[in-house]
């Protein structure tokens, strides 16, 4: 929403242990994120981000070309399946977290190796970047480090994402506390 320049919206944060009767009434899965826009309720993260991109078309965050659009959707699916799914394990027991860190390092090293000398994953800033940014923001928190060459490349890319005013504006208090020195800039 911040990237799209949408000024009027409310974010209701729920902690893991919080129960919300309102959420249960809106979403049969009782999950977050859940988006409420007038009479519409959307509760799948991928559907939410695509809906926002279509509802607020400028600036576009998905390509117009259907082939490229499908490739972006697959890339987002892979990031969610491969990287996001590791986050719960990174909060697990030391042995589980160690294994998850190794897998996260492997996946991000492969991704960094594929980066061409361009500013973002695609030709322009897109939902791909929006999907990867939260993972990169949490690397230090999860104690994930990358080999120097690839870590530097991914670090430069991450710095560009984190410098975007919309990125900083979208951080929750808990997320800002994960990297207070960067969030203060």
Average pLDDT over residues 81-102: 94
Angle of helix 127-138 relative to helix 148-162, nearest 10 degrees? 110
Residue ranges of domains in the chain: 1-59, 66-183
Identify the three-state secondary structure at position 35: strand
Average pLDDT over residues 162-170: 92
Give the pair of three-digit tokens for residue 61. Answer: 């965050």
User: How would you label 12-29 residue by residue, b for 16+ Cβ within 10 Å and e otherwise?
Assistant: eeeeeeeeeeebeeebee
For residues 111 and 78, the answer to whether their CB atoms sit within 8 Å is no
Q: Which pLDDT value is given to residue 185?
A: 47
Q: What tens digit of pLDDT does each residue of 97-151 get?
A: 999 999 999 999 888 877 655 678 878 899 999 999 999 999 999 999 888 888 8
Choose between 75 and 115: higher pLDDT. 75
Answer yes or no: is pLDDT of 184 > 70: no
Choose between 140 and 183: higher pLDDT. 140
- Give the separation between CA 53 and CA 76, rounded to whole angstroms: 14
Average pLDDT over residues 82-106: 94
* 1-59: in CATH 3.30.2010.10: no
Q: What is the mean pLDDT of the chain?
A: 88
What CATH number does the domain located at 66-183 have? 1.20.1050.10
Find, among 22, 24, 48, the residue nearest to 35 by Cα: 48
Q: What tens digit of pLDDT does each residue of 104-115 get?
A: 999 998 888 776
pTM of the model: 0.86
Average pLDDT over residues 33-61: 93
Answer yes or no: is pLDDT of 180 > 70: no
């Amino acid at each position: 929403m911040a990237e799209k320049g949408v000024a009027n919206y409310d974010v209701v944060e729920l902690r893991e242990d919080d129960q919300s009767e309102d959420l249960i009434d809106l979403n049969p899965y009782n999950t977050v994120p859940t988006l409420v826009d007038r009479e519409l309720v959307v509760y799948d993260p991928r559907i939410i981000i695509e809906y926002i991109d279509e509802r607020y078309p400028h600036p576009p965050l998905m390509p117009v070309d259907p082939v490229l659009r499908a490739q972006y959707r697959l890339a987002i699916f892979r990031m969610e399946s491969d990287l996001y799914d590791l986050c719960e394990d990174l909060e697990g027991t030391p042995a589980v977290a160690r294994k998850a860190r190794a897998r996260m390092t492997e996946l991000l090293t492969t991704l960094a190796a594929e980066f061409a000398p361009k500013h973002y994953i695609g030709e322009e800033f897109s939902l791909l970047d929006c999907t990867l940014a939260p993972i990169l923001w949490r690397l230090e928190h999860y104690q994930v480090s990358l080999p120097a060459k690839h870590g530097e490349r991914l670090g430069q890319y991450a710095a560009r994402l984190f410098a975007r005013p919309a990125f900083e504006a979208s951080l929750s208090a808990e997320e800002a506390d994960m990297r207070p020195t960067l969030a203060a800039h």
